[in-house]
Amino acid sequence: MRTILLFVACFIWAGSPLLAAEASEGKEVFQKMCSRCHKLPESGTRTAEQWKLVIDIMQGIMQQRGETLLNEKEKQQVLLYLQENAKQPSSARETGAENLFIARCALCHQLPEPGMLKAAQWKLIIKTMQQRMQQAGVPQLKEGETELIMEYLTEHARK
Ligand code: HEC
Ligand code: HEC
């Protein structure tokens, strides 16, 4: 038992500077790789979960444009850096659907307010946005993603 505790203690002790080093490398990778097409985004504008989704979307854009993607190690380092500097979730109930909506619908303009339209109107808007994504070379929503976002919008739409 003693040895196990000691082992765990050493692991934690040795682990945190290691993580800190990874995160600081992550900052460099972030600054280099994420300022190629637009100005560097502020880390505090999104939660860690939302950053995960945004990075996957960005990887899709890079791929479509023939730009160098982040490799797996760089991606993990950037996520670690962003996690340490990300926005705190506003509520414990922040759902996957809400995170997806935020990740997907605040890329080209401010996040729209769900209560400003009725569900049927949102459905049409999403169709238009899919076209805009295609025109802009941003990967379109997959079927399951459209459904999730529509569920979220329907729940919060103008009645
Ligand atoms: C190959 C080009 C490209 C690269 C590289 C790229 N992005 Fe983007 N990014 C885009 C495009 C296209 C948009 C959509 C808006 C626009 O047209 O500028 C966007 C929008 C964004 C937005 C929303 C606007 C904002 O500032 O809030 C965020 C956040 C973002 N990118 C994060 C990242 C991160 C993080 C990385 C690095 C992992 C990255 N991007 C790398 C092309 C790129
Ligand atoms: C590829 C970029 C891009 C993405 C991603 C995007 N939009 Fe848009 N959106 C636009 C453009 C361009 C306009 C029209 C000009 C403007 O208002 O900036 C627009 C306008 C809108 C409008 C105003 C109504 C209109 O038709 O002009 C709403 C509402 C909207 N978007 C909702 C969304 C939602 C919801 C999502 C997520 C599913 C989304 N947008 C994702 C580019 C985008």
Identify whether 103 is part of a domain.
yes
Q: Distance from the CA of 108 to the center of ligand 2, in angstroms?
A: 7
Number of domains composing the chain: 2
Q: Is residue 12 scored above 80 in pLDDT?
A: no
What per-residue confidence (pLDDT) applies to 18? Answer: 82
Residue 83 lies in domain: 11-91
Nearest CA residue ID for atom 43, ligand 2: 108
The response to whether residue 33 sits with its C-beta less than 6 Å from ligand 1 reads: yes
Residue 146, domain CATH: 1.10.760
Q: Are residues 118 and 144 in the same domain?
A: yes
For range 130-143, the mean pLDDT: 96
| Whole-structure pTM value | 0.91
Q: Are residues 75 and 108 located together in one domain of the fold?
A: no
Taking the centre of ligand 1 as the mean of its atom positions, its distance from the CA of residue 37, in whole angstroms, is 7
User: Do 81 and 121 belong together in one domain?
Assistant: no
Indicate if 61 and 129 belong to the same structural domain.
no
Identify the band that residue 92 occupies on the pLDDT scale cut at 50, 70 and 90.
Answer: low
70 and 47 part of one domain: yes
Contacts 24+ apart (CB under 8 A), 102-106: 102/46, 102/50, 103/46, 103/50, 103/53, 103/54, 103/57, 104/53, 104/57, 104/141, 104/145, 104/149, 105/129, 105/149
Residue 87 sits in the same domain as residue 99? no
User: Which of 75, 91, 107 is the last residue before a domain boundary?
Assistant: 91
